[in-house]
C-alpha cells in the first residue's frame, strides 16, 4: 500500500473522486488504500450530490502528481465547453464563482469554520446588507464547482451575487448556462460596495 502516492495526487488541493485519484495514479486502489482514503485524518470527505470527494485537510505544495490531476480535470471536454464562467443552480460557477469565493476569504468577509463549512464574518454580513440590500444567513451554502473542484457560493446568497453582477453589467447570461464576463475575472468584485 502506498498512501504517500494518494497524498501526492491530493496535493492538487482540489476535491477529487476515488475514480479520478485512480486515473491519475494509473491503477485501482487496494482495499487498504481505500480504507486510508476514507479514514485518514489528513483527508476531508465531502459528499455532494451522491458522490464522495476527497481533499487534503490542509493545502500543501503541489507535486507532479497533483499537477497531473489538475491537468486531467482541466482537459475534460465538458470543462472546456463550459468555459470560465457559467451558472450552477442560478448562481455563478466556474473560475469566476471560485474567484469570488476566494475573494470573500481574502477580504475577511468569510471565514472557514471547518474544511467544509464557511460563514460570513460580521463585516461580511454588514457588507452584504449594504451591497445587496439583503441580510443573508451567516452560514454559507457551499457548492462544489464541477470544473474547478473548489467551492463557490451557492444558495440564495450566490443567486443575489450573480443578480448584482448582472445589474452592474459585469456579466451577462446566455441560453446555455455560460456566462459572458464583461470585465476581467480579477475585477468582478473591484467596485464592491460602491
Domain map (residue ranges) of the chain: 3-75, 80-187
pLDDT tens, residue by residue, 7-37: 999 999 999 999 999 999 999 999 999 999 9
Task: Check: pTM over 0.75? Answer yes or no.
Answer: yes
**CA separation for the pair 183, 154 (Å, rounded):** 22
Calculate mean pLDDT across residues 132-147: 93
CATH hierarchy code of domain 3-75: 1.10.10.10
Which pLDDT value is given to residue 193? 62
pLDDT in tens, 88-119: 989 999 999 999 999 999 999 999 999 999 99
87 contacts 173 by C-beta, under 8 angstroms: yes
Amino acid at each position: 500500500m502506498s498512501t504517500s502516492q494518494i497524498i501526492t495526487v491530493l496535493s492538487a488541493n482540489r476535491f477529487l473522486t476515488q475514480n479520478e485519484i485512480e486515473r491519475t495514479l494509473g491503477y485501482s486502489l487496494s482495499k487498504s488504500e481505500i480504507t486510508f482514503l476514507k479514514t485518514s485524518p489528513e483527508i476531508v470527505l465531502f459528499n455532494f450530490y451522491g458522490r464522495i470527494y476527497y481533499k487534503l485537510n490542509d493545502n500543501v505544495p503541489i507535486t507532479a502528481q497533483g499537477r497531473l490531476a489538475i491537468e486531467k480535470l482541466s482537459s475534460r471536454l465538458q470543462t472546456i465547453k463550459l468555459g470560465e464562467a457559467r451558472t450552477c443552480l442560478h448562481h455563478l460557477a466556474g473560475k469566476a464563482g471560485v474567484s469570488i469565493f476566494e475573494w470573500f476569504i481574502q477580504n475577511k468577509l468569510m471565514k472557514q469554520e471547518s474544511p467544509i463549512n464557511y460563514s460570513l464574518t460580521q463585516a461580511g454580513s454588514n457588507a452584504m446588507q449594504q451591497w445587496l440590500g439583503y441580510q443573508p444567513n451567516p452560514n454559507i451554502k457551499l457548492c462544489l464547482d464541477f470544473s474547478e473542484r473548489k467551492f463557490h457560493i451557492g444558495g440564495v446568497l450566490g443567486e443575489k451575487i450573480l443578480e448584482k453582477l448582472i445589474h452592474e453589467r459585469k456579466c451577462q447570461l446566455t441560453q446555455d448556462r455560460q456566462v459572458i464576463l464583461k470585465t476581467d475575472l480579477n475585477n468582478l468584485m473591484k467596485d464592491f460596495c460602491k
